[in-house]
Every structure is written in C-alpha cells, then in structure tokens.
Structure 1
Amino acid sequence: MTELCFAEFAKCLQSGIQPPNDDKDVVGLLLSWITDMPGVADKKGNPVNIAPSLVSDLLKRKVDVPKAIKNACTTKKVVTEAIKHCTANVIPYLNPILSDDMFEAMGKAVEADTIIAIKKKKELTALLKNGKEAEFLGQMLIYIINRENRVSNSSIVSDDIPLLAEADYECPLCHAPLVDYVKNTPVKKYEVIKIYPDDISAVVSEFDPIPKPKKIDAPGNRIVLCRDHAEEYMVEPTAEDYFRLREIKDRLSSTYSLRVDINDATLEDEIQNVLYGLAGITDDTELEELSLDALRLDQKILPENRLLKNDETTRVLRYYNFIDNLFSAMDRDGTGDFDLIASEIEVAYKKLDTGQLSQDEIVEQLAEWIKNKSGVGNRNMRACHIVVAYFIQNCEVFREIPK
C-alpha cells in the first residue's frame, strides 16, 4: 500500500482476503453496506449503484468515492458501524497466511503519510499494535472514504491534446480550465470520458433507445470534462445527460473544424500597424467619432443579438475613423495594402459563415484569428475586436439582413 486513498486500501485488502476477491467483490465489500443505508441516494433520489464502471474508475483513481457515500460517512456512529461490519464480514475471511503482510503494508502507509493528522496517525498505529485489527480496518475505511481518491496533478497525455484543443482547453459544461501549471509544468485538471459509456448495465433502460456507436473508443465518442462533471457523468449517466453531451460534442467538433479551416487563411503582417496603433491610444489622443447617420450595424446584426450590437456600435462609433486613417496612411506610404487586408478578412469571415456559428461566435473566432495571425498576444485582444467591428461596418463581415 503506497498511499492512503480508497483505491490503495481496496487493493491492499484484496491481497489479504480469501476468494472471491475480484475487484467488484472487494469494492462491494467495502461500500455496499453504506449504499444499503436509508437515505444514501444519488442526485435523482435513486440508490447508489456500485456498477462495474464505478469499480474500475475507483481502482484506477479516475474518480472520487461518490458524494452520497462520503456524506454518509461523516459521523461517529458510522465509524462504529464500520467496525461492526469489518468484525463480521472482513476479519473472518482474511487469508491467515497473507493477512500479516497486508496489515504491515497498511501500517507502513499510515506511518509514511504526510497529510494525516498526528493524532489520527497515533490512533491508527496504536490499534494495529495492540491487535485491534477490526477496529483498525473500520476506522481506516471511513478515513480513506473521506480522503481524495482521484489522482491530482498528473501529466497531460499527448493523445488528449486534440480533445483539449477541440474544447478550447475549458470544460464545456462549466468553463473551468482543464489544464493548470505547477512550476511551469502543465498538469491535467480533466478526465476524458466516453459519451456512450463502456458499461451501461446499470442504466440499460435509460440507454435502450440510443444506438451504440460502432467504435466506442473513437474520438467522436470521447469528450474532456472537468473532474467534477466527469465523475458525475461516469458514476450516474442518464439519457438526458447523454443527449446533452452528444449535442455539445457535435458543436465542439464543428467549431473546431472551422477554427482549423480559418487558420489556413492568410492575413498580412501589416495588420499589426493598426492593432498597435489602437493599443497606443491614450487620454490625449483625439478621436473623431463616426456619425450615427453612417452606422450600418442595424442592417447587419440580428435584433436578438442586442448585447453584440451594443458592443460593436460602441467600437465603430469611437474607433472607425481612427482605424480608417491608419489604413489610409498605410496605403499612402506603401507600408500596407488595405484592399488586400480587407479581402483576407472577408475570406476568413466566409469560412466561418457556414450556418453553424452564431454572430457572437463568428466575432469571437475572427478576433482570435486576427490575434493569432498578427502575433500581438492576448493583451491586444480588445484591439482585435475593434478591428472586427471596423470590418463589420465596412461590409467585409456579415451581410445585410434581408427585409
């Protein structure tokens, strides 16, 4: 036993107990008496099912012990019940030849753990030393149920990178970042799940009407989620959750394909002059605002996109003339070609205008593309949005709404 967590405890017990001692037998032995308690239920009010997929994920440390079980293991009373359970259902079935090795491994894990409180460490060590093995196992079981079981700060697997890029490195359900950095090293804060689960025996009625994919391991059936949402889905998948994830996956795949496509479009380096010009505006810069009479956004942004219209209107009125003067100056002194840049913006827009993205999403993708192509960095993202607004007004982006 190398660490105080549910998976290591279960594996260690497995090594010292008589058959049947398969994974499902051991995990069931440790948890089923808790799931049988009144009031221990999943988010839908149903009993917690220790399905084969949950057993596998617990032992692989992909998920934590379900919250419903954790919540039932926070009182002194449940510690007493755990000791009774171990006395009646574990101790009598230990392998007398290997049990000493098992207890020694558990004791060493307690001694080596740097997180456990000193008081708790002394208590567990004393129980083992004094031969109170059932009490030791009962207290250990409740303790490790309350500990984190999922592996934290593990390295990113290269096979996951396309799925991370598809999700833009954030959980599509809650937008939490999926990658963190510890001492400049990227570590995973996500799990890759199968939208159509591997094992659906526990929820077969829910998934009966859903056709099983030809290749359940294919990228089209896999999605990255933050650990909390991944665990929730893997433990308690429902048909409703499936259809929601399926729709999100299809949208992510389509959007990612468009991003890859637009990145093939070229953009003149001279666009940097405009972006840095915008970034250099100060309180002393005189800005000649565009007349409201010249505004064309009413004709191009759908009425339901009120917030987008407000943002683009502000950008156009305040900065259109400033950008126009920068482009004119570039044309005059030969440092840039406005017509070429405008045509490249229009090509990029047309690649995105496939009917799959909303106007908001098209604006975001164009701004991101301008930032990436120009190499100006995230600090100039606002300038990239202002340039997109300019080209909306100038008719390279969005078409006039049919009357």
Structure 2
Amino acid sequence: MVRLVVASDKFKGTLTSAEVADAVRVGAQRVCPDATVVSVPVADGGDGTLSAAVAAGYTHVPVVASGPTGEPVSSGYARSGDTAVVELADVSGLVRLPNGIPAPLTATSYGTGELIAAAIDAGCTRIILAIGGSASTDGGQGLIRALTEAGGLPAAPTSPSTAPGGPASASTAYNLASGGAGSGGTLDLKTLRRRMRGVQVVVACDVDNPLTGPRGAAAVYGPQKGADPQQVLELDAALGEWADLVARETGRDLRDTPGAGAAGGVGFAALALLDAELRPGIDLVLEMVRFREQLTGADLIVTGEGALDEQTLHGKAVAGVAAAANGIPTVAVCGVNHLEAQQLQNLGVSAAYALTDLEPDVRRCIAEPRPLLEQLGERIAVDHLTMARTAKGTP
C-alpha cells in the first residue's frame, strides 16, 4: 500500500486547499485504489490560513467585527488550547471591501485588532497573526486602537463615516494620541500593555519592506489598494508621522525594520507596539498543521498553488512544503506553470502538473478546474505511485 500526502495551497478563486486535495485523491485512487491519501491543507500566511487551521483541528470561534471600511462582517478566529489564529484577510482584507471598491485613504485594520482582543479576552495567550491580503495602509493604527478600547470588543461601526480610517494625511491620522498623531500627542501605552500582558504575538510575514520610503508600505503596495500617486505621497507622509509618534513614546524607531511595511504597516505596529516575532508564513502554517508528523511512511508529496511563478521561489507554499519534505519525492499541481524545470528542481520539486497541460484555455481551467485536476491526479499516480507500489512489492 502506498501513502500520498497532498499539502496544497488553494487555487485562488477556484478551489480551496481541501478541494484540491480531494480532486487529486479521486484521480490517484482511480489508478491505485488501495492508495492512502492524506489531505493537509496549507497556506502561505495569507488568505486560507484560517481554513488551514480549522482543517488541522482548531475550533472556529465566530466574531462580528469591523470590515476594512467600517461595516460589520462575520469573521472569527481559530483556537486550539491557548493559541488563536487570526487571519487579517478574513476581516480587514481586500476580499472584504464592499463591492470590491478600494478605499485607499480610509480602509482600516481595526477589525483585526477586534479579533485579537476577542481572542485575548477569551483567554488566549498566543496569537498567530496572518497578515497577507490587507486592504489598508494605516500603519496598523486601527489594530492598535481596537486593542486600546476599554471594556472588551467594541461595537462595530455601521458606516464608513464612523469607521476609524487610514492616515490619509497628518490631519486625518487616527486620534490614537491626545491631539492626534501629527500634534505631539501620546499613545495610551498603559492600556495597550495591560491588554497584551502575558500574550505572545507571532506574525506570518513574507515581505521585507520597511514602513516608509520608496520601498515602503504606501509606495509598493498602495497602488495595489487603489492609491493614486498623490495619495501614495499622502499615505507615506502620514505613516512617517505615525512612526515618529511611536518612536517618541516607545524610545525606539522600527520603521526601517524588514517587514515593517507588511500589510500596509501592520507589521510595524506588531513589531513596535506588540513586541511581535515575524516568521515566514508557510513555516508557521506547516508547524500549525503538524506537517512533519503526517510524513511518516509517505511515498510521495503533492503540493501546489494556482500559479507557479517567480513568487513561488520566495517563500510561497510550494517552496515551503518542498523544503520540509525531508527527502520524500515531491511534485506540484497548479493552474499554470511559468517555472523552468531547473527552477523546480532547485526548490526540491521533481515535476509540475498544470491544468493548462490538459486544457490550454485558461478560462475553462478557471471555470471547471476539478475534472482537470482529477486527471492530473491520475497522471501523478501513473508516473509515481505505481513505481512506489512495485518497489514495495504491492501487486
């Protein structure tokens, strides 16, 4: 009997991690009916991390919190013991923008802070914070404001006009400080430290951008969130004033720390005000789902994501799974493959199987991915599992 471990990320917009694994299983078992197929959904620390945690046995705890423009959204965190997994994308992410309309100057990370506060108030002492997919460039000010609100989870704002907005300029930066971030005020560090006492925060972060400047949160990621060139300048200036305030109040300036610019500056707030540890997202997720424990007796690992490209080479799910494979042969499934064979080999991936190998029409691949993925599961079984069965002496 052969053992196949499927540890794939989602195919964004088409299939979840669990659906990818199930399609591969169906195809593989058509060729090798006695194959044991283990599904280990993974993510790279962005959207999908919450689902991966729940698939790994964490309990989903529902929370209604503020979306990126202030509207209440049904979100939540995943809990196992005293550990909570909070996914920024699920509450403050681009996917939560009403009608998909960007709000570059007003989108906020406030709801993410609400989730963290709810988890802490419920007794969690370790927060795993996945920060990919942010809709805001607020420097993490919204998150900090939510944590300094008194009396537990604040009521969610009901309209954008009442929402805590992003730092469009010094005059519209959050009033976290007496007089505002641009007026020499002070942060309520006493309340924040009381809330965070005894709490460890680990942030899934895969970028090394600083908070401000030409490689900063506004300049690099602001346009992706709808900011025009003038708004990028305004956002960068406001982030600078926010960093000035934090430096005055804490006695340390972390704006240039690699990762400070992650998620519109949430990385900065986590580092400077929550004493967070930044770790690669896929490493955190693999640890969370106990990936290495699933590898005992495995003959093959199938990993994957929607597109294999240059980003794959820099800490995405496929690279992380292959690095953790412990010598077990590893192949990848994907929608489309833009990598050369040598690049895949360098990652530790022996072969890539793409939907476009079977169907050149990308639109059909997106519309009907599952039958194609099942066919790829069959190919993988023929190419790899039949040899493994022979080696084991299995008929």
Q: Could you say whether these structures have the same fold, taking a TM-score greater than 0.5 normalized by the shorter chain as the test?
A: no
Report which of the two has the higher share of helix. Answer: 1
Larger RCO of the pair (alpha carbons < 8 Å, separation 6+): 2
TM bin (shorter chain): under 0.3
Report which of the two has the higher share of strand. Answer: 2
